[in-house]
């Protein structure tokens, strides 16, 4: 008797490991390992979630119509070309499996989001990692790796875990260098945090070209990660494909209701954005003053590199352990090829003060 065998590529997948959620023994917990919105969800989103609880015996609207209309209004997009999913992970997986298969290649940057190579292998395709330059997406390196077998390219903009972004001109240069049959997926999970004037979430390219998709999430600034809600803005033909392959009821009614309310609470969103910019600026200054290297970030997390620290305690893992002993959870990003780095989510002021105190003690060898 032989056991069932999974499809080619699946056993090459390294299962996604999320940020830690527990610090046994610590008297408090400060969770800064998963880039969740610091202020939590909008109270209006919580109220909307509660309001639909009595209807949980009903199937959700399979087409997420009201939510898509809300997204269209809020961002000035064609709601007919929006497809919602069970987190943006869901949408990214569907896109990969719909457009790449056995013998094809899926291109991403070497320190890109972990789901890209996972979804490529799930599709039976080969993930190809292009090098970055100074922890930034390198357009030339990506274009140099496009082959006749390339089907999909993923760019996280801004990128997780580096926090860097590709500006409008560079994004257009990347697109211009691609064959028309290659799908460019611009993953703009952290778009709402960016205030750089030369940034675009990529929706303008979606409107212009038939081979560009933008994905977004409610898990970050909208702080609804627990509800799993993401979406894609697509050319009509790609939206049609996603609607054929997605689960018929792939977004829970609670997620649709809370997402729409969060979207409409513009004041809360602005407060979250301002909070992030202010606290991130303060935190980066404090950590640099300790002699540590902090990479510039436009998102709600920063990457701290320990490689250039002299001495035996120059060790990201040691710093992570010290923080964890105090109940502070941050991410050591070895699974992104950066074992000498810690990624720290921007949280509340007192949470970030606790991180600075912990890092100061670590630097001073306490
Ligand atoms: N893209 C990027 C760049 C991310 O960092 C994340 C979450 N860590 C996601 C997509 C997935 O987010 P979700 O599935 O929660 O929408």
The CATH class, in words, for 43-264 is: alpha beta
> Ligand 1 test: best mutation among 19, 154, 164, 189, most atoms within 8 Å of CB?
189
Q: Quick one: pLDDT band at residue 309, thresholds 50, 70, 90?
A: low
Domain parsing of the chain, residue ranges: 19-40+267-364, 43-264
Using alpha carbons, select from 22, 66, 14 the residue that is nearest to residue 263.
66
Cα–ligand 1 centroid distance for 162 (angstroms): 14
- Strand pairing of 293-294 and 301-305? antiparallel
Express each pLDDT in 232-276 by its tens digit. 999 999 999 999 999 999 999 999 999 999 999 999 999 999 999
- Of all atoms in ligand 1, which is nearest to the CA of residue 156? 3
What pLDDT sits at residue 1? Answer: 74
Q: Indicate yes or no: pTM above 0.80.
A: yes
What is the CB < 6 Å shell around ligand 1? 35, 87-89, 113, 156, 160, 187, 189, 217, 219, 225, 230
State the complex-level ipTM: 0.99
Chain center to CA of 97: 19
User: Taking 90 as the threshold, does the pLDDT of residue 19 lie above it?
Assistant: no
For position 20, what pLDDT does the model report?
85
- Centre of ligand 1 from the C-alpha of residue 114, in Å: 9
Ligand 1 centroid to Cα of residue 314, in Å, is 30
Q: Work out the percent of the chain whose per-residue pLDDT is above 90.
A: 91
CA atoms of 88 and 114, how far apart (whole Å): 13
pLDDT tens sequence across 98-145: 999 999 999 999 999 999 999 999 999 999 999 999 999 999 999 999
Cα separation, 286 vs 296, in Å, equals: 14
Cα-trace Rg, the chain: 21
Query: CA–CA separation, 175 vs 129, rounded Å?
Result: 17
Measuring from atom 5 of ligand 1, which residue has the nearest CA? 160
Could you tell me the distance, in angstroms and rounded to a whole number, from the CA of residue 290 to the centre of ligand 1? 30
Q: Classify 19-40+267-364 by CATH class.
A: alpha beta
Average pLDDT, the chain: 95
- DSSP annotation string for 248-287: TT-S-HHHHHHHHHHHH-HHHHHHHHHHHHHHHHHHHHHH
Place of tokens 């630097």: 363
């Amino acid at each position: 008797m032989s056991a069932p065998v999974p499809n080619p590529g699946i056993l090459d997948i390294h299962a996604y490991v999320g940020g830690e959620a527990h610090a046994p023994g610590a008297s408090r917990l400060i969770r800064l390992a998963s880039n969740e919105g610091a202020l939590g969800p909008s109270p209006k989103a919580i109220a909307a979630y509660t309001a639909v609880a009595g209807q949980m015996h009903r199937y959700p609207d399979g087409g997420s119509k009201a939510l898509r209309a809300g997204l269209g209004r809020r961002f000035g997009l064609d709601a007919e070309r929006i497809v919602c999913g069970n987190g943006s992970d869901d949408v990214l997986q569907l896109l990969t499996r719909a457009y790449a298969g056995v013998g094809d290649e899926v291109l991403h940057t070497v320190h890109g989001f972990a789901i890209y190579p996972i979804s490529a292998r799930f599709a039976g395709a080969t993930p190809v990692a292009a090098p970055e330059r100074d922890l930034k997406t390198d357009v030339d390196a990506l274009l140099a790796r496009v082959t006749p077998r390339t089907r999909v390219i993923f760019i996280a903009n801004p990128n997780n875990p580096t926090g860097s972004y590709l500006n409008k001109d560079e994004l257009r240069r990347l697109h211009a260098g691609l064959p028309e049959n290659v799908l460019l997926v611009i993953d703009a999970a952290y778009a709402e945090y960016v205030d750089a004037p030369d940034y675009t979430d990529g929706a303008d390219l979606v409107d212009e070209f038939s081979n560009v998709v933008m994905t977004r999430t409610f898990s970050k600034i909208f702080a609804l990660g627990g509800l799993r809600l993401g979406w894609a803005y697509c050319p009509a033909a790609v939206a049609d494909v996603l609607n054929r392959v997605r689960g018929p009821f792939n977004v829970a009614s609670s997620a649709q209701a809370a997402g729409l309310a969060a979207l409409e609470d513009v004041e809360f969103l602005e407060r979250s954005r301002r909070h992030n910019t202010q606290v991130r600026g303060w935190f980066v200054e404090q950590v640099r003053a300790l002699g540590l290297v902090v990479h510039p970030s436009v998102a709600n997390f920063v990457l701290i590199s320990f490689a250039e620290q002299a001495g035996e305690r120059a060790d990201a893992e040691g710093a992570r352990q010290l923080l964890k002993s105090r109940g502070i959870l941050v991410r050591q990003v070895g699974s992104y090829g950066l074992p000498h780095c810690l990624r720290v989510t921007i949280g509340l002021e007192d949470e970030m003060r606790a991180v600075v105190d912990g890092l100061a003690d670590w630097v001073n060898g306490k």
